Amino acid sequence: MTPNASELAYESIAELAPRIKSGELSPVTLVQTSLERIARFEPQLNAFLEVWGDSALAAAELAEKDIAAGRYLGPLHGIPVGLKDLIDVAGSKTTGGSKVLADNMADSDATVVTNLKAAGAILIGKLNLVEFAFGTTGLNPHTGDVKNPWDTTRITAGSSSGSGAAVSAGMVVAALGSDTGGSIRMPASLCGIAGLKPTYGRVPRAGVLDLSWSMDHVGPMTRTTEDCALMMNVLAGHDSADPGSSHEPVSDFTSKLTEGLDGIRIGVPSHYFFEDFVDDEIKASVRAAIDLMASNGAEVVELSMPWVGKGRPINFGVILPEAVSIHEKMISEHADLYSPAVRSRVQSGLNVSAIDYVRAQRARQWFNHQVAEAMKQVDVLVTPTVPIRTLTIDECTPSPGNPGAGSELPMFTGVFDVTGQPSHSIPCGFSANGMPIGMMITGHPFDEATVLRVGHAYEQLTDWHQRQPTDISETN
């Protein structure tokens, strides 16, 4: 391994960027560290579908020369980034983790890839995922299950399973995921990293495979909240190639990071998110995090939201018919190539009538209004990210007559795909068996800056985000 590789692998973008800019750290050394860790830990974790070692090293050498010549492009210049395999990179396959698209070669870059390249980021490979991003546990019978770096017998959650594991294990400094029912925030929670679902339309989706076009989001998965902000400064903005792309002005997402918690009003729902079905350790960790923020300047406001549990059924009620409309032709021609679980999910959308879809969208309008009204008196909501403990892969693996556990995972995250609000998961503790626990910070539409401010402020009060996985080590 490269000298001090373990320490270097867990440095954040914010820590690495000044060293790269000054010439103290070579992008080549950083990319070599990533590639060495991928080679060492990938057999255990199965996070990657494709690794671009040669092109990443060539890009790193070019970055080093450009920076030395005074052509520094910003904090992402020379930073290794992994991409969920829904995202097009010209000349590479985009498989969606499915046999159906096993030979699907992209002829152009997704807009987010164009943005990353323009910022000098180094693309290091494609990351594993749930087939077509349509699942919550992170398991994929085609590409193999991704293992959680904190305990390789356990799931990462999905669908951005490889993204969560790769960042958590120090294989890459940052990754991109997508989120339709929680697929950025659930793996972030279970893998002990930061993951931001931006406001719907904030980050362009052109060149990214659709699951549910009115709820799909693309966003960053990183070590820290600050790194999410730095990624967002590159990713966000209007894109005419994406019909859902917002025209909302984009400002510096790091602008409020250091303002602390003074004056922040934290809403804590008195319904659903802390009820009896939520794991006791998760409730206790999130409550302790809220108390810590309250003792450091935040005001806590309890909110009555007795209807908020309707969000996840609305989420699923919209996803199903939109997903089947996207997959209709492929599944009619290649149903045998889909895994049984994903085929069943897609085909169940055929049973949703047009009037039921309209009703779901009408219920969505009502629900979004209710949430907006409830949040008028607060800046953010703070809740658990997921309601249940981190399950084992065996518990989640389907068998005849048993669909597998894990369907409860998106009960909380899916609520905010319905509303499209910015929603961010960061670690706030660990269970007795050593698994990360995440809390979710959700803000007003297009106010990612406040969400990130709260996340960063909490991270300055704790060291949860600095801890490293215990089930992989340099001695394995």
Candidates 26, 84, 161, 246; catalytic one: 84
Q: Based on the number of CB atoms within 10 Å of its own CB, is 227 exposed (0-12), middle (13-18) or buried (19 or more)?
A: buried
Please state, as a whole number, how many other Cβ atoms lie within 10 Å of the Cβ of residue 446: 20
φ/ψ (deg, to 5) at 238: -70, 145
159 is catalytic: yes
Concerning whether 160 is annotated as a catalytic residue, the answer is: no
Catalytic residue among 26, 92, 168, 183: 183
Residue corresponding to tokens 């009037």: 355
The answer to whether 183 is a known catalytic residue is yes
Q: What residues contact residue 187 under an 8 Å CB cut-off, 6+ apart?
A: 138, 156, 157, 158, 160, 161, 163, 164, 165, 177, 195, 221
- Collect all residues with Cβ–Cβ distance below 8 Å to 261 and sequence separation of at least 6: 293, 296, 297, 298, 454, 457, 458
Of 142, 197, 270, 239, the residue nearest 443 (C-alpha): 197
As a whole number of angstroms, the distance between CA 290 and CA 303 comes to 14
Tell me if residue 93 falls in helix, strand or coil: strand
Interaxial angle between packed helices 27-45 and 161-168, expressed in degrees from 0 to 180 and rounded to the nearest 10 = 120
Residues 439, 426 contacting (CB under 8 angstroms)? yes
Of 92, 159, 168, 285, the active-site residue reads 159
As annotated, the active-site residues are: 84, 159, 183
